[in-house]
Structures are given as structure tokens and as C-alpha cells.
Structure 1
Amino acid sequence: MDATLRRFSLFYFAYYAALGAYTPYVGRWVDALGHGGYVVGGMLGLWYGTRILGPPAWAALSSRSTRPGEWFFAGCVLSLALFAGFVFTTSAWALLTVMALFGLFYNAVMPQFEAMTLTALGSRPERYGRLRVWGSVGFLLVAGSYGALLDVTGATRFPWLVLPLFVLLVAAAWPHRHDSPPPPDPNAMADAGHLWKRPGVRRFLLVAMLMQLGFGPFYVFFTLHLQAHGHAGAEIGALWAIGVIIEIALFWQAPKLIARFGAAPLLQLCIAVTAVRWAVVAFFADSLAVMAIAQAGHALSFAMFHACCMRLMADFFPGHRAAAGQSLLYGISGGVGGVLGAVMAAVAWESPGGGTAAFAAGAAACGLAFAIHAKNSS
């Protein structure tokens, strides 16, 4: 890999390394501060909510600038500065306020960077996977090690342990301050609105949203659920690592599998496996071996499901309409589905059933997605 592209790999590594600390362990930190499931769910709900608002607002501002790369760098600096606010906050409302501001900028910079990456690759888009995989490596290393680190330092030290990762993020963003993404397509949203009416699109987006909703308990309470069932931080970190390792492995094989079996049948399999996975996590969390097997299901629940979605999106939103389709998928699945999943998980967590109820609800959401997709395929 040449030096020009190596700097893109470094930013992916830094960005997802920070995410590898935040996603698995922010709930453990908030819980250690003495807050309940509603605050934990609110933190993750705001995380997904800002994914709806942040990227389009930031894109509108940076697209008007003659130096969009400097806007990108500024977004990374603001992400660092706002995350530092967690060091000084302990009350629920202060945490949620900092989360809302931090999420707006941290979620905004990656879509801009993705566009910058594709511009840099030019006629070699097939090399994207070799750059993006370093993001998964960064997530793997941090998610796999920070559970044990928090065991040693105490969960309340979480913000101090994550701050160096955001310093690395800013350092990795510095070489890109003069890069520029391609100009936005002014007809993107008009295309999205038109293609929304195409046969199969709304049903597909509903299935994707329900799958993301089903992931709500996993992203919000998986660490706390395992902790409640007696697993140590090192074991929890290892379980997160298993999921990412197998995710990386299957991403490399996904194109061959889709070419052989087809995206729609594989998508149906992924949904079924995910429903079973959450049911297993709900009722067998005491067993480390069973949880390891459940985490191996991440290969289908996340990696193959995502690859199949991208293949189907290419059919639903061909050519120059791809950007419009991605905006719909990002907003409806990752945004709306993420917010609803966090809310559902928090309500279930605070019920008498606790983690069992939360993951059973996730399994039910995926079961509904399975039924909707099966009806569409019949």
C-alpha cells in the first residue's frame, strides 16, 4: 500500500478504535456512575439520533466551503473537545447534553471521510476493503482489551482511558485537511423520494430497520448483561473480540457467497440466525462457551447481513441514485432503528425481566423482520 493510501488506513484505525471503546463500555461507565438503564439507553439513543441529524447538516456546511478538508479536521477536533467534557460530568442531564453535542460531530465526520476515500481511490474502488479493514482491526484491539483495563483501573476512569484515542483521531485527521470529497448530487434527495415508491424498497428498509432495532439490546446492554451474569471484564472483551474477528473473516468471503447463493436467500438466513442469537443471549448468558458461539453468529448477523444489504441496495438504487439510497438506509435503519432499539432496550432492561427481557425483545424484533422478508420473497 502506497503512502498516500496508508494515511487513510490510519484514520479508519483511529476512528473505529475510539468506537471500540465507546460502544461496548460506555454503558458500563454510566452504570458505574450510579445511573440506571434509562440513562444508559438515552446515551445510546442520542448516539443514533445524532446519526440522523449530524451528517446531512455537516455536509451542507462543508459543501459550501472552498476548503472542505479543513471542516473535516475541525469536526475531529470538536469531537475530541466535546468528548473531554465527559471527564467533568456525572449527572444524568449533563451526560446526555454532552452526548448530544459530541455525537453530532463524531457521527458527522465519517460520511465525509468515506467520500474523501472514494475520491482518492478513483478508478481503484476495489481497494476500499483493504483500507476499511483497518477500522475493524482498531475496533478489535480496543474492544478486546478495554474490558480487562477497566477491571484494573475501575470503570469510572473510562473517559480518561478513551481520550488518548481521540487525540490519535485528531492526529490521523491532520494529513487530510487539504482533501476534498466529490461535490454532492443536488438531485439525491429527490431521487430518494421517487425511488421510495419502487416495489420492494419500503419493505426492505422496514426489514433493515427491524434488524437494527433488534441490535438495540446488544449495543446498549450486552456488556452489562454479561457482567450481571458473573463474567469478568477480560471475558467480556474476549467475547466482543470474537465477534469482530469473525466479522472481518466473513467480509472477505461475502462476495463469493453472494455470487453463489444470492443476496435475498442469504439475507433470510442472516435474520433467522440473529433471532436465535438474541434468544440464546437472553436465556443462556451464564455460559461463557454458549456466549462465544452466539458471538460467532456476528458473522451472519452483521457482516453477511450488511454485505447482502449493499448488494440489494445496488439493485434498488442503481447508478447515480446510490447516494440517495444510502442516505435512506442510513437514516431509517441506523438512525430510526437505532433510536427505537435503544428505547426498547432501556424499557425492557428496567422491567422485572432485565437483560433477559431486553434480548428476548430483540429476538422478537428480528422474528418480525424474518416474517416480513419471507412474505416478500414468497
Structure 2
Amino acid sequence: MSPADFRRYALFYLGYYGALGAYTPYIGRWVAANGHGGYVVGAMLALWYGGRIVAPPTWARLSGRSATPGHWLVAGCALALLGFAAFAGFDRGVMLFVVMAWFGVFFNAVMPQFEAMTLSALGPRNHDYGRIRMWGSVGFLVVAGTYGWLLDRLGNDAFVWLTLPWLALTVAAAWLHRDDRPAPHASDDGTANGQLWRRPGVRHLLVTALLMQLGFGPFYVFYTLHLQAQGHGGLAVGVLWAIGVLCEIGMFWLAPRLVQRFGAHRLMTACLVSTIARWAIVALFGPSFAWMAIAQTGHAFSFAAFHAGCMRRMAELFPQRRDMSAAQGLLYGFSGGIGGVAGAGVAAVAWQMGGGTWAFLTGSAIACIALAAHVLPVRAARPSPALEG
């Protein structure tokens, strides 16, 4: 990949995750500020993750059949921008959920397509994925680390207007890929039509990724509200988000070497252990900024290294470019979609029953189940205590 191509791909990740850096930490705050309770916040995030179930596989089929898949990327980003802009006029009632569904479908549709484009462009150098994806973390860091302070001063109504420029940047970055050549068409052996999951190792990866996403439900839905309930102000909330993303950036930079040295399986095992401890700390030591900062360093493993490990496994399981787009749609739909919807629902129930303590203890328990699902099948198949990468 040439330096110019590296910049094109990095710019898209920067814009996309900059927008996500506004949405993920602060959509719950915006919804709550408009007078809605925990169930509405959970329902909003469930709709968001629901978009990952429907949109990625459908979008992968449509864009995969097109001679100009880059045009589909531009269209999806533009429709996501229009959907989010509608939040300025609809902040309650049925239309709030309609707008959420619209935005969730199109925003979630484009990333699996772009991930496939990135891995295809990298080819055999797929271990360098983290150094491109790192720029998405930079965008997330800039936004998540400052918007809590900005919203404290500008008011929660500014949330929509502060987010729109990042979505506009995503459209502009997608435009640079409008003429990218399509990957070779999928074969007619059925792999692109629902059979990818039959490959050895695929279902194991999907279940692990789903359970990890399920355990992340309290974090994505209620972390900011939990910190506010524990007495942390907007600046502290932003700093804590920033700590997590800074660690994420560092890990994405190191991930290629870690994946090559330890293998994806061992790395993902370490990530799951770290996540169990992370959610337990958030649940039990919420009033302490120091403990929250320590917990946020765990984002390096529970998100960045885990994601890099998943991408490595995807490249190993689907070495042919023609299958990559459909495979990415399957991963996003199954783990991010089903896992995200279930995680938002479980988090909402736990939050209503016992606040952040119950919610994050639930997340820690789910991470324990994910660890068992990830490790036990390998041990059952191989009596040796050594784990394969």
C-alpha cells in the first residue's frame, strides 16, 4: 500500500470513528437530558445495534454485485449524515426511534464494506491493519475527550450540531474511494449466501465475538451516565474516555507485533481476562477517578487488541478477497448486531434494577462466559495445555 493510499484509508477511519466518538459516549446523555429513562436509552442503543444485523449482509450483497462499489460507500455515508441531521428536529416520540433506525442502518452498513476494502488492499500484509485503524482511534479520542466539557458549556442541545461535521468528513473521505476497483466476485459455491459460517473455526470466532459485545453493553449504553451518577463531571468523563482511547491507539500500533508473536487466539484470551477485571472495577469502584482511570487502560486489550485479533482471524479464515466483504458483514451482523442488541437490552434491565453496579457486574459475568466459550473448545480438542495462535 502506497503512502497516498494509506492516507486515504486512514482519513475514512478518522472521520467515521470521530463521529462514533460523539455518538457512543454521549447519545445516552442526550437522550436522558431530553427527559427519557433507562429503558428508552437502552431501546435507542438496541435500534443502533439492530442496524448491524440487517444492514451489513444486505449492503455487502448489493455493493459486491456493483461495478462501482465505491459509489455505494459514498451513498451510505451521505444517507447516514442525513439521518443524524434529523435528530435536530426529532428528539422525542415515535420519530426519535424512526430516525435512530435510519441512522443505525446506514452508518453500520458502510464499515464492514470498508473493512473488507482495507484488508483487500493490504493483502498479505494484513498484520499492518492496526496502524491504519489507529487513525480511527485518534478521531474517537479527539471527540470523546472534549465533548463532555463542550456539552457542559454549550448545553446538550449542541450534541447533534457538534457531531455533524465528523459525518460530513466521512462523506468526503468516502468520495476519495468512489472509483476503487471491486474485489473479484464471490464464487457460486454458496459461501456468499449464508454458508460462510460453515467453515471450521468461524462459528467459534462468532460466538466469542458476540459474547464480548454482549458484555460491552453496559459500557456503550450507560458508562457516561454511570460516571455522572458517581459524581464525575463532564471534564472527568471526557478525560476517562480519552484515557481509554489513548491506550487503544497505543495498542493498535503494537498489535501487529503482538499478533505475529503470540497468535490471534492467545491474544484474544488475554483480552477476555482483562475485560473481566475491567468491568468488575468499574462496578465496584465507581466514585474513584483513579480506579476508573486504571479500568480504562484495559481498553487497550478489551477493545483494540481483541479487535485486531478478530481481524487477523478473519484474514486467516477467509484468505480469498472474494469472500471478505460477505464475511465482514457476517461478523458485524452476528457479533455487533445480535450481541449489541442483546447487550443493550441486558444492560437496560440491569441498570433499572441496580444502576451501574449491577450493570457492570453483569458485563463482567458475561465476559467470564466469553472466556470459557473461547478457551474450552480448544482445550477439549487438544489435551495439550498449549494454545494455538
Assess same fold via TM > 0.5.
yes
- The whole-number CA distance in structure 2 between the counterparts of 1:297 and 1:319 is 33
Equivalent pairs counted in the alignment come to 377
Query: Cα deviation per residue 1:184-218 (whole Å; 9 max; x = unaligned)?
Result: 41448537855645565434422221111000000
Deviations 1:260-295 (A, max 9, x none): 444333322221221121111111110000000000
Matched, 1:295 2:296: yes
Checking the alignment, whether the CA contact within 8 Å between 1:188 and 1:324 is kept in structure 2 is no
Give 1:153 shift.
Answer: 0.9
Q: What's the counterpart of residue 346 of structure 1? A: 348
1:181/1:151 Cα in 2 relative to 1: closer, same or farther (>3 Å)? farther
Aligned-partner Cα distance in 2 for 1:97–1:345:
22
Decide which moves more: 138-147 or 366-375.
Answer: 366-375
Displacement of 1:250 in angstroms is 1.6
SS in structure 1 opposite 2:176?
A: helix
**Contact 2:57–2:326 (CA<8 Å) still a contact in 1?**
no
Query: TM (normalized to structure 1)?
Result: 0.90
State the match for 2:331 in structure 1. 329
Distance of 2:262 and 2:123 partners within structure 1: 30
> Residue by residue, what CA displacement relative to the aligned partner does 1:8-46 show, whole Å, maximum 9, x if unpaired?
322221111111101111000000001011111111111
Q: Please, which moves more after superposition, 223-232 or 199-208?
A: 199-208
Is the deviation greater in 103-112 or in 178-187?
Answer: 178-187
Matches of residues 193-232 of structure 1 in structure 2 within 5 Å?
A: 196-197=197-198, 201-232=202-233
With over 3 angstroms needed to count, the CA separation of the structure-2 counterparts of 1:318 and 1:170, relative to structure 1, is: closer
Query: CA–CA distance in 2 between the matches of 1:273 and 1:123?
Result: 30
The match for 1:158 is 159
Q: Give 1:325 shift.
A: 4.3
Cα distance 1:188–1:297, how it changes in 2: closer, same or farther (>3 A)? farther
Partner residue, 2:191: 190
Q: Is the 8 A contact 1:73 1:177 kept in 2?
A: yes
Q: Please say if residues 56 and 332 of structure 2, whose CA atoms lie closer than 8 Å, have aligned partners that are also in contact.
A: no
The alpha-carbon deviation at position 338 of structure 1 amounts to 0.9
Partner-residue secondary structure (3-state), 1:49: helix
1:43 maps to which residue? 44
TM-score by length of 2: 0.88
| Equivalent-residue separation in structure 1 for 2:131 and 2:99 (angstroms) | 34
Equivalent position amino acid for 2:349 in 1? V
Cα displacement string for residues 228-280 of structure 1 (whole angstroms, at most 9, x for unaligned residues) = 11101111111111111111212222333344444333322221221121111
Q: Does 1:252 align with 2:247?
A: no
SS at match of 1:350: helix
2:237 corresponds to 1:236 = yes
* Equivalent in the alignment of 1:173: 174
What's the offset of the Cα at 1:374? 3.5
- 46-55 or 339-348, which moves further after superposition? 46-55
What SS does the corresponding residue of 1:185 show, helix, strand or coil? coil
How far apart, CA to CA, are the structure 1 residues paired with 2:156 and 2:207? 37
Alignment partner, residue 84 of structure 2: 83
Which one-letter code corresponds to 1:329 in the other structure? L
* Distance in 1, Cα, partners of 2:66 & 2:327: 25
Between 1:183-192 and 1:138-147, the stretch displaced more is 183-192
CA distance in 2 between counterparts of 1:202 and 1:81 reads 36
Q: Percent identity?
A: 60
In structure 1, distance between residues paired with 2:102 and 2:196 = 33
How far apart are the structure 2 equivalents of 1:74 and 1:325? 21
Gaps of 5+ in 2: 380-389
1:51 to 1:157, Cα distance in 2 relative to 1, 3 A: same
AA aligned to 2:361 is A
Quick check: 199-208 or 267-276, which moved more? 199-208
- Kindly report the root-mean-square deviation, in angstroms, between the aligned alpha carbons of the 2 structures: 2.5
User: Using a 3 Å threshold, how does the CA distance of structure 1 residues 163 and 357 change in structure 2: closer, same or farther?
Assistant: same
Alignment-mate amino acid for residue 240 of structure 1: W
The ranges of structure 1 where at least 4 consecutive aligned residues each deviate by more than 6 angstroms after the TM superposition are none
Establish whether residue 52 from structure 1 lines up as the match of residue 53 from structure 2: yes
- Is the 8 Å Cα contact of residues 48 and 335 (structure 1) preserved in structure 2? yes
Q: Which sits farther off after the overlay, 181-190 or 48-57?
A: 181-190
